[in-house]
Homo-oligomer: A and B are copies of this chain.
Amino acid sequence: MTPPASRRERPAKAALSRTAIVSTALEVMRVEGLAKVTMRRIAQELDTGAASLYVYVRNTAELHAAMLDELLGAVDLKPAKARGDWRKRLEAVLTSYTMVLFDQPGLAQSALVTWPNGDNFLNTVEALLTILDQGNVEPKRASWAVDLLLQFATTTAAEHGTRAQAIDGEEQWDALVDAARRVKPEIHPHIAALGDDLWSGDGRQRLTWGYAVLINGIVATPRP
């Protein structure tokens, strides 16, 4: 006698756990995008009901934060242990962080409201503080600086990241560029004079310039 079909269709049902939930969520995100990462969908993937997930995660926001922390394991923190120009090394870590988030702008967007608090995030913060210390930025100023730098890096990923709803975002971006083009020079002379230079241009160069602005500003601005 064969076992019931349900016993043969899948491998033995894995035990539910926070780790299993987060890694399943990341898998679904990688394949189908963040929009498909819903409690019901993750539950389905784990062969259970959505209600069961609430034993391990408080809500969707917490799940997103846990996913992001997992992703942050890929950030290259080696520059914190290297030698050489601290500004370059700071920029290198931030660029790595931004690139990791760039493929998942939706996750970056949610991180602005709910920051992760896992090991990978803490390691990133520690690395940034280490480099700022090497640059002789006093600790109290460095603490605010990290916040500012991470905010900029995260927002940039959320804003310009590729993927998923980016198709929709592209349309809205064009609408903004169009609006700037149609502006009347009598009413908005500065916008009209800048033309396409206002909202377009190489994203990578803007990012590099943004880091430089922040680092120069941090060095030049003591905490009150």
Contacts and interface: CB of A to CB of B under 8 A. Distances in A.
Interface string A105-122: 100010011110110001
Nearest to A192: B126
Interface string A128-169: 011001000001101111111001100110110000010011
B146 A198 contact: yes
Contact of A213 (B148, B159, B169, B206): B148
A16 interface: no
Chain copies in the assembled complex: 2
A122 to B, nearest CB: 6
Contacts of A206: 144, 147
B159 A122 contact: no
B115 A190 contact: no
B169 A114 contact: yes
Contact of A216 (B145, B168, B205, B220): B220
A50 interface: no
Interface string A191-224: 1011001110100011011101111111011011
A212 B216 contact: no
A62 interface: yes
Interface stretch (A4-12, A38-46, A176-184): A176-184
Contact of A109 (B109, B152, B183): B109
Contact of A205 (B58, B165, B187, B224): B224
A18 to B, nearest CB: 14
A61 interface: yes
A52 to B, nearest CB: 21
6 contacts: A117-B180, A126-B190, A148-B213, A155-B155, A208-B224, A212-B217
Interface of A: 58-59, 61-62, 65, 105, 109, 112-115, 117-118, 122-123, 125-126, 129-130, 133, 139-140, 142-148, 151-152, 155-156, 158-159, 165, 168-169, 171-173, 175-176, 178-180, 183, 187-191, 193-194, 197-199, 201, 205-206, 208-210, 212-218, 220-221, 223-224
